[in-house]
Amino acid sequence: MDRREMENKIAGIVRLLGTSLKNRGLYPPAHPLVRNPVEKCVAELNPFFSEKTELALTVTDGTLVLEGVPIFHLTSSLELFMARLGSIGVPSIVFERGVCAEDIERFVRFLHETRDRLPVPEIKATLERFGVSHIRVTGSEKEEEDYALAREIYGNAVGVVVRALKDVRSGRTPDGAESDHAVREMNGMIARNRDAMLALTLIKNFDEYTYNHSVNVSILSLAIAETLGLEERDRIGVGVAGLLHDVGKTQLALDLIRKPGTLTVEEFEEIKKHPQEGYAILGKMTHIREETRYIVREHHMRFDRTGYPRPEPEYRMNPHSQVIAVADCYDALTTMRSYQKARTPQQALEIMRKLTGKSLDPDLVHLLEQSLGVYPVGTMVRLSTMEVGVVTGMPVRGKGEPQVAILFDRSGNPLSAPRKVDLSAPDTASGTPRRTILGTVNPLMLPPVSIGEVLQSISA
């Protein structure tokens, strides 16, 4: 079989699948116009299995590809087939040797009847329930790789903070090159997949608050710096300041740092020393820019210049110091502490808006909102179907609807596993979006659920 003949046969196989799917919506399952394309598809597939054990069908950059052969001449049935794969979230299909007409017929039925976007594990489970035995679905390798890489980068950054704080407490000078490298990795991951990196800031660890908080502030600062349009050199400087902004607290008594109740005047005066202590520590480290040191020193100098250390009237603050202040405030508000409940992303932003012009820079709070989107990752929302879900990602290219996974059905019952849905998928009867976001939901009004664990399970 030469190349041209193989391309024609492959194109024919995929068109038969599309034709069966299209006709499934017009005729009963046993109708010849539904059944005949299935049988022809099996007949066309079988010759390929004389040399191969499986055939892979994927959609890459909007192009349908079977065994490396792209299908460019699309018919209406093929376009329907591709659209259905995309709306359900099927990244790749593998036909195995032994595939029969019943397998293909059941797979077409699955495509016809499934209206929601599903995570890959649920797609696999559904196909198994349909009795499909020789067609399997594989995950999106790029997305899986992105989230795995993001988790690795986040974990590495936590390790850098742990070592840095341990070194300072032991009287050693931390390795500044480690911090610089960790921030460069996080900055690169934000550019590659912002959702994957930002989602990890919602995974809170009460026992490791200091370390997680430092990494989260760095990630949020990098996201703001990117939205601000800073050059890479300045973004890295801001990110390193975020990672090490609380390093000066190592010079304070642990009991004071961990005190759950209200601080006395004397205790608060001690706490107020940590920005200056951090400035001094960073001065001994290699690979730390002077601008980064000043950002650490100034991250508690309020926007109205009433913070600490109190700047003199003629003192000129680094314009990027408030980036850390905004990121620090957001992560602190969305984290449960012994003295406060964790706020939702929306609640945190609402509180921060009230602080603009006083503690926080109004423009930077607005940029943080832009970075996080209308519904930040981790926001619980109620849909028009009365289901409750969590936002797992921002709209693609900043347009359209955010990515959502359903956690509770319309009766308020928790699902066995989060289920991704495509908010742009139309209702077949009306042609309008089947689901829309009605508004946010207070997590305290629902059975307890760990948003961080949900996001991690979806990305795993």
The string of DSSP codes covering 301-358 is: S-TTS-SSSPPPTT----TTHHHHHHHHHHHHHTS-BTTBPPPPHHHHHHHHHHHBTT
| Res 66 pLDDT > 90 | no
Looking at residues 221-232, what average pLDDT do you find?
93
Q: Which pLDDT does position 139 carry in this prediction? A: 62
Do 220 and 128 fall into the same domain? no
* 69-71/63-66 β-pairing: antiparallel
Q: Indicate whether 122 and 150 sit together in one domain.
A: no
What is the percent of the chain with per-residue pLDDT over 70, rounded to a whole number? 87
More confident residue, 246 or 343: 246
Q: Which of 23-37, 166-180, 444-458 has the lowest mean pLDDT?
A: 444-458
User: What is the model's pLDDT at position 140?
Assistant: 55
Residue-level pLDDT at 428: 56
Give whichever of 40-54, 77-91, 441-455 has the largest mean pLDDT.
Answer: 40-54
DSSP state of 245: T
DSSP 117: -
Write the pLDDT tens digit of every residue in 428-438.
Answer: 566 566 788 98
pLDDT tens by residue, 277-306: 999 999 999 999 999 999 999 999 999 999
| Cα distance between residue 280 and residue 182, in whole Å | 21
Question: In the predicted model, is pLDDT for residue 144 greater than 80?
Answer: no
Please tell me the predicted confidence (pLDDT) of residue 379: 84
> Cα dist. 255→10, 73, 160, 170 in Å?
69, 70, 23, 17
DSSP SS3 for 204: coil
Cα-to-chain-centroid distance, residue 135 = 29
Are 21 and 150 part of one and the same domain?
no
Same domain, 397 and 359: no
CA 291 to chain centre: 30
Mean pLDDT along residues 369-397 = 83
Structural domain count of the chain = 3
Looking at the structure, do residues 364 and 392 belong to the same domain, yes or no? no
Whether 316 and 424 share a structural domain: no
Residue scoring higher pLDDT (445 or 370) = 370
Domain boundary among 353, 372, 391: 372
Q: Let me know whether 441 and 385 are in one domain.
A: yes
| Over residues 115-122, mean pLDDT | 76
258 or 429, higher pLDDT: 258
Q: Pick the residue with more confidence: 202 or 408?
A: 408
Beta-carbon contacts of residue 399 (< 8 Å; ≥ 6 apart): none
* Nearest in space to 66 (alpha carbons), one of 89, 88, 40, 85: 85
Distance CA 352, CA 101 (A): 59
Indicate whether 263 pLDDT > 80: yes
Measured distance CA(240)–CA(440) in Å, rounded: 33
pLDDT one-digit tens code per residue, 171-217: 999 999 999 999 999 999 998 888 888 888 876 665 567 899 999 99
Residue 455's pLDDT is what? 65
Q: Which residues lie below 8 Å from residue 190, measured CB to CB, with a gap of 6+?
A: 197, 198, 219, 222, 223, 226
Residues in the chain: 460
Three-state SS at 266: helix
Joined tokens for residue 380: 């619980």
Higher-confidence residue of 427 and 266: namely 266
Tens of pLDDT, residues 301-328: 999 999 999 999 899 999 999 999 999 9
Distance separating alpha carbons of residues 273 and 444, to the nearest angstrom: 37
Please count the other Cβ atoms lying within 10 Å of the Cβ belonging to residue 396.
12
340 with 414, same domain?
A: no
Are 193 and 315 found together in one domain?
yes
- 154-168, 260-274, 381-395, 442-456, range with greatest mean pLDDT: 154-168
pLDDT for 427 equals 62
Domain check: are 302 and 386 in the same one? no
pLDDT at 178: 96
Rounded CA-CA distance 147/145 in Å is: 6
So what's the pLDDT on residue 102?
93
Residues 230 and 243 in one domain: yes
Is the same domain home to 163 and 296? Answer: yes
Decide which of 339, 372, 405 is a domain's last residue. Answer: 372
The answer to whether the beta carbons of residues 215 and 209 sit under 8 Å apart is no
Q: Pick from 342, 372, 402: which residue ends a domain?
A: 372
Question: What's the whole-number mean pLDDT along residues 87-111?
Answer: 89
2 contact partners, CB below 8 Å, separation of at least 6: none
Query: What CATH number corresponds to the domain at position 211?
Result: 1.10.3210.10
The mean pLDDT of the chain is 85
Other C-beta atoms closer than 10 Å to the C-beta of 312 total 8
Threshold 0.85, pTM exceeds: no
Domain residue limits at 411 = 380-459
Q: What percent of the chain has pLDDT over 90?
A: 42
Residue 294's pLDDT is what?
A: 97
Average pLDDT value for residue range 31-58? 87
